[in-house]
Amino acid sequence: MYSFRAALILLVGLVDPVAPSRAAAQDTGSPTTRQQLKVFLDCDDCYADFLRTEVAFVDYVRDRTEADLHVLIRQARTASGGLEHTLDFTGLQRYDTLAYMVKTVTGTSDTDDVIRRQLAASLRVGLLRVLTSEAVPPELQVTVRLGTEEKRPAVVGDRWNNWVFSLRGSASFEGEESSKQRQLGASISADRITPEWKISFGGEIDHEHEEFDLDEETPVIADSRERDFNWLVVKGLGEHWSAGAMGDVESSTFDNIKLSVSAGPAIEYNVFPYSQHTRRQLRALYAVGVGSFRYVEETIYEKTEETLPLHELSLTLEQRERWGSMQARVEWSQYLHDVSKNRLELDGEVSLRIARGLSVTAQVSASRLRDQLSLPLRGATEEEVLLRLRQLESGYEYGFSFGLTYTFGSIFSSVVNPRFGN
């Protein structure tokens, strides 16, 4: 038989505690007065204002050092395109021995209201474990709803066999007296994801047309076109290994590529188990293959087409903990016919909580380029340079941004006031 507390934890999305008012809780004359649980809510795009409003039987604080409980909410995409929400509950102060999680899944057709209410129900369930860790509070009231009495129809199978398809189209038009612009885009994807297999196909088309009237006889016309189709097939080989193949078909006026086709096998090792993907990953991937290229114009190497062997090695780190988050990726690729033709790319982002109220965020990207085989022999015109219509010869690229945030004042963040917007 389950204990009362365990039963509350198992009823994900079905528990709705009704707490006494704040005024009653702060009444020093009441024999049942107890200190409000202080919670630090740590999440991105998780309807934080709604959660603070709907789950109001705790105090929310804006600094982790003031909290009794750290709630970290993370999302991961499911096979059907929905989201798996993982709520990590970590006790602090006198609850420092507590550490557990609650999971809930929402579908692609779920509205924002359905998602946020499901998150609120999951948050309630997780908080009840702390509130009942020592004893069930005498003022706690619980309502359990098991749904309607109508029985749901039995699942007879998935007629789509786990395939999920997506179509997208876009168009934009802008203009003024001396210029006008139009952009057209479309994409399609098909994915089949199971615990053991990941199969993905995707295609995208973008066309941008610009005209500029510079008081000359003929206007300046700029056209750019991008076409891309990629595919991926992966088989899981346990909690740490995966093997598969990937390929790409592309054309790009910016890169002087009329048509490129590349494909090859790949293998990946994850230092951490794949089951911990929402919290941390450290993946090493190696791929080798062949690429066939046809160019719009003759290249600086006097080529109009060529077929080349190539390989790449990448290392990816993704981690989100109570102290902040970290993402980093290093990728090295090389053409095997000439080992001097290679590329090294690095990008990363770190967000750290340094001290009480103080956090720092940094982003960096850098590339060492030695593989620009498609550069046109004739070079680029002034218009193509200014309008970014042609790739330019470059030995490196880089970027860096840094942000610092310091917040002080009241530690509480429970009050939500929507007047005049946020």
Cβ 170 vs Cβ 187: under 8 Å = no
Burial of 37 per CB tally in 10 Å (0-12, 13-18, 19+): middle
Amino acid of residue 216: E
Q: Residue 153: what pLDDT?
A: 45
Residue with tokens 């982003």: 363
Cβ 82 vs Cβ 107: under 8 Å = yes
Cβ 2 vs Cβ 10: under 8 Å = yes
Q: How many helices (H) does the chain have, and how many strands (E)?
A: 5, 19
Q: Residue 78: what pLDDT?
A: 80
Q: Residue 183: what pLDDT?
A: 94
User: Nearest 10 degrees: CA dihedral of 270, 276, 280, 285?
Assistant: 20
Helix (H, G, I), strand (E, B) or coil at 126: helix
Domain count, the chain: 1
Cβ 212 vs Cβ 219: under 8 Å = yes
Asked, for residue 46, whether it belongs to a domain, the answer is yes
Integer Cα distance of 50 and 54 in angstroms: 6
Helix (H, G, I), strand (E, B) or coil at 266: strand
Cβ 374 vs Cβ 391: under 8 Å = yes
Asked, for residue 86, whether it belongs to a domain, the answer is yes
Cβ 254 vs Cβ 265: under 8 Å = no
Report helix, strand and coil shares of the chain as percent, to nearest 5.
10, 50, 35
Asked, for residue 348, whether it belongs to a domain, the answer is no
Tell me the sheet residues that pair with 101: 88
- Using CA of residue 249, residue 254, residue 255, residue 259, what is the dihedral sign? positive
In this structure, what are the phi and psi dihedrals at residue 382, rounded to the nearest 5 degrees? -60, -40
Asked, for residue 404, whether it belongs to a domain, the answer is no
Integer Cα distance of 20 and 29 in angstroms: 15
Cβ 8 vs Cβ 128: under 8 Å = yes
Asked, for residue 354, whether it belongs to a domain, the answer is no
HSE of 115 in the Cβ direction (CA atoms, 13 Å)? 17
Q: Residue 111: what pLDDT?
A: 79
Q: Residue 106: what pLDDT?
A: 86
Asked, for residue 95, whether it belongs to a domain, the answer is yes
Integer Cα distance of 183 and 96 in angstroms: 55
Residues 6+ apart with CB under 8 A from 388: 254
CATH, residue 120: 3.40.50
Tell me the sheet residues that pair with 419: none
Helix (H, G, I), strand (E, B) or coil at 127: helix
pLDDT tens track, the chain, 422 positions = 333 333 343 333 334 443 433 333 333 344 444 578 889 998 888 888 889 888 888 888 888 888 899 999 988 888 777 888 889 999 888 888 888 889 888 887 787 888 888 999 999 999 988 888 777 777 777 776 655 444 444 444 567 887 888 899 999 999 988 889 999 999 999 998 888 889 999 999 999 998 888 776 777 788 889 999 999 999 999 999 999 999 999 999 989 999 999 999 999 999 999 888 777 899 999 999 999 999 999 999 999 999 999 999 999 998 877 778 899 999 999 999 999 999 999 999 998 888 777 889 999 999 999 998 988 888 777 766 666 667 777 889 999 999 998 877 776 766 656 666 65
In this structure, what are the phi and psi dihedrals at residue 10, rounded to the nearest 5 degrees? -75, -25
Closest by CA to 371, choosing from 320, 311, 326, 422, is: 311
Exposure pattern of 320-341 as b/e (b: 16+ CB <10 Å)?
beeebbbbbbebebbbeeeeeb
Helix (H, G, I), strand (E, B) or coil at 385: helix
Please provide the distance, in angstroms rounded to a whole number, between the alpha carbons at the two ends of the chain. 48
DSSP H or E segment with residue 22: helix 22-25
Residue 377: C-alpha distances to residues 298, 299, 304, 347, 391 (Å): 6, 5, 10, 31, 12
Tell me the sheet residues that pair with 332: 313, 344
Asked, for residue 73, whether it belongs to a domain, the answer is yes
Q: Residue 28: what pLDDT?
A: 39
Domain containing 21 equals: 4-144
Q: Residue 5: what pLDDT?
A: 38
Going edge to edge, which strands form the sheet with 179-193?
163-175, 179-193, 197-212, 220-236, 241-252, 257-270, 280-295, 305-321, 324-335, 342-355, 358-369, 396-406
Asked, for residue 24, whether it belongs to a domain, the answer is yes
